[in-house]
């Protein structure tokens, strides 16, 4: 019979400690709601004694969250414990989380006490916390560097005092999975009353082993995993919960464990945390990174198209991501090109795949990544790819007021004869120019990406503007290069508008052929 692993999320406490700026109360509530929808068992909402704002946020979260248990952190000090309880007085279910350093290093240099004094502090704190709740977690801070004899002694004492969860943190990410597993195994072997408590682990990632240590702890008998979404946390971060959760999911037959997590909320929750915390997710981050389900190698793309399991151990749909992405580059094979043409609605009979692929490789070597409109131009517009651009920006002028409003005027040549003059007012010079260009072309586009990079230094430095816009559910890419960033921005948009025009003309020709 499968055993449940309790998922304890500390994004709002340990995760927030690593942020350059604190989250406000509303941001914390939104993250807590996302964690609740994901099915997290316990949400550590914060450290209420640390500030009035923190206390208020925990109180607000406690009123709103219904299905996840709310937990507050407290040092082994009477006032901390009282404030932690007060902050959660409206929670449906709550837990007080006590922590105290137990390693010789922490006891001697940080706490400056004897180990017997540490035991007495821990026991009296657990006893006090029991006045407020029967759900008490005790953390042996720096357990990874605590002598096993001392670890057994303090664990046994706090369980006798009423602690119901014993947390074994690898506070500085010191141990290896083998070492950590042995620590957990020895606790089960030598702490005589350990059967009266749940063993939890809280691993840090200083050596990149947080997830590995957490999994090894589960194998040794731990039944609660503590961590954060996206691995946020002090220094190198905490255990990334989404990684542990999906490892349990993929290896359910071997580990024989389950969680209450709603897997399809994982991707969305990860993005919410990233957005509110202003902490971008690395593109190669496991499970939720941009490249986690992205394939560039032609061999891999062909294998995925034949059977996703060839190169994907997780179906992206299972975590709430609609599909995988095949990046079209010079490493892509014929299968990926043909697949993308099919997704765009073209049949094999509409074009010559062999000719298209030869031209595709040549262009991919020059350009890097190939977009849909590139494929269409290669397949159907080959003879006219190098024709004169339809849109040309003949003139532009921008004035910006102290209020921030900018007025842009343009003259856009459309074809060989038609000149269109337009003006637009917007917040900022670049947006004003873009609005004027949109008025001139009447293309219903959405700007999806704007990236500015300076090439060189000083007044002669070139500003390279790289943009992606969406037009009729397709992405179009444009680049502009100039010493004036507004001019570079305008060039990039005109570049995009020409690609859209070419794509439109291609589709007209295809419809005539059909």
Q: What is the SS3 assignment for 297-353?
A: CHHHHHHHHHCHHHCCCCCHHHHCCCCCEECCCCCCCHHHHHHHHHHCCCCHHHCCH
CA 373/CA 368 separation, integer angstroms: 14
Nearest to 244 by CA among 280, 201, 284, 195: 201
3-state secondary structure of 150: helix
Integer-rounded Cα radius of gyration of the chain: 29
In the numeric block, the tokens 């500390």 are attached to 10
Task: Identify whether the C-beta of residue 462 lies closer than 8 Å to the C-beta of residue 482.
Answer: yes
Helical ranges in 39-147 per DSSP H: 52-64, 78-87, 104-105, 115-129
Angle of helix 177-190 versus helix 148-161 axis, rounded to 10 = 50
Beta bridge mates, 475: 470
399 marked ligand binding residue: no
- 45-64 as b/e, with b when 16 or more CB fall inside 10 Å? bbbbbeeeebbebbbbbbee
Tokens of 134: 């029967």
Residues 6+ apart with CB under 8 A from 301: 295, 326, 332, 333, 335, 336, 339
Quote the DSSP letter at residue 264: G
The β-bridge relationship of strands 94-101 and 474-482 is unpaired
How far is Cα 457 from Cα 140, in angstroms, rounded to an integer? Answer: 53
Question: Alpha helices, DSSP H only, in 68-176?
Answer: 78-87, 104-105, 115-129, 148-161
Residues 6+ apart with CB under 8 A from 417: none
Q: Which of 38, 39, 36 is nearest to 61 (CA)?
A: 36
Contact (CB, 8 A) for 71 and 97: yes
Compute CA distances 36 → 44, 197, 214, 255, 502, whole Å: 12, 24, 22, 25, 48
SS3 content of the chain, % helix, strand, coil (to 5): 50, 25, 30
Residue 251 annotated as lining a ligand binding site: no
Does 213 count as an annotated binding residue?
A: no
- Is 260 marked within a binding site? no
Asked if 233 and 17 count as a contact pair (C-beta separation under 8 A), the reply is yes
Known binding-site residue numbers for Mn(2+)? 14, 202, 204, 238
Known binding-site residue numbers? 14, 202, 204, 238
């Amino acid at each position: 019979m499968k055993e449940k692993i309790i998922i304890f999320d500390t994004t709002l406490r340990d995760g927030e400690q690593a942020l350059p700026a604190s989250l406000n109360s509303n941001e914390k509530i939104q993250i807590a709601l996302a964690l609740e929808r994901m099915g997290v068992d316990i949400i550590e909402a914060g450290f209420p004694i640390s500030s009035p704002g923190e206390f208020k946020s925990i109180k607000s979260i406690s009123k709103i969250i219904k299905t996840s248990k709310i937990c507050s952190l407290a040092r082994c000090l009477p006032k901390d414990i009282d404030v932690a309880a007060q902050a959660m007085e409206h929670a449906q279910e709550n837990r007080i989380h006590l922590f105290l350093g137990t390693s010789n290093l922490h006891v001697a240099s940080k706490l400056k006490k004897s180990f017997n004094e540490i035991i007495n502090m821990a026991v009296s704190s657990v006893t006090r916390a029991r006045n407020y709740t029967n759900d008490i977690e005790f953390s042996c801070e720096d357990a990874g560097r605590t002598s096993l004899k001392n670890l057994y002694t303090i664990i046994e004492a706090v369980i006798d005092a009423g602690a119901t969860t014993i947390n074994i943190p690898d506070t500085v990410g010191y141990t290896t999975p083998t070492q950590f597993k042995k620590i957990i195994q020895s606790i089960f072997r030598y702490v005589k009353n350990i059967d009266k408590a749940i063993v939890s682990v809280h691993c840090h990632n200083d050596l990149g082993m947080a997830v590995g240590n957490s999994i090894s702890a589960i194998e040794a008998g731990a039944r609660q995993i503590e961590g954060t979404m996206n691995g946020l946390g002090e220094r190198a971060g905490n255990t990334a919960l989404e990684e542990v959760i999906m490892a349990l999911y993929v290896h359910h037959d071997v580990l024989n464990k389950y969680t209450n997590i709603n897997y399809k909320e994982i991707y969305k929750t990860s993005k919410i945390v990233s957005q509110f915390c202003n902490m971008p997710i690395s593109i190669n981050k496991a499970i939720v990174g941009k490249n986690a389900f992205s394939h560039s190698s032609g061999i891999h793309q062909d294998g995925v198209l034949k059977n996703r399991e060839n190169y994907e151990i997780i179906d992206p749909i299972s975590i709430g991501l609609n599909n995988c992405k095949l990046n079209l580059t010079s490493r892509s094979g014929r299968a990926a090109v043909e697949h993308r043409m099919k997704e765009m609605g073209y049949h094999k009979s509409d074009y010559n795949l062999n000719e298209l692929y030869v031209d595709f490789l040549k262009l991919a070597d020059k350009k890097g990544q190939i977009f849909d409109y590139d494929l269409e131009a290669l397949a159907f517009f080959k003879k006219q790819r190098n024709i004169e651009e339809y849109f040309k920006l003949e003139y532009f002028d921008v004035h910006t007021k102290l209020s921030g409003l900018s007025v842009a005027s343009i003259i856009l040549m459309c074809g060989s004869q038609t000149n269109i003059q337009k003006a637009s007012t917007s917040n900022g010079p670049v947006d004003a120019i873009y609005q004027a260009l949109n008025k001139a072309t009447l293309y219903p586009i959405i700007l999806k990406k704007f990236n500015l990079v300076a090439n060189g230094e000083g007044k002669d430095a070139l500003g390279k503007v790289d943009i992606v816009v969406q037009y009729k559910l397709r992405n179009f890419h444009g680049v502009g290069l100039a010493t004036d960033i507004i001019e570079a921005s305008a060039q990039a948009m005109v570049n995009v508008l020409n690609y859209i025009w070419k794509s439109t003309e291609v589709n007209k020709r295809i419809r005539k052929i059909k």
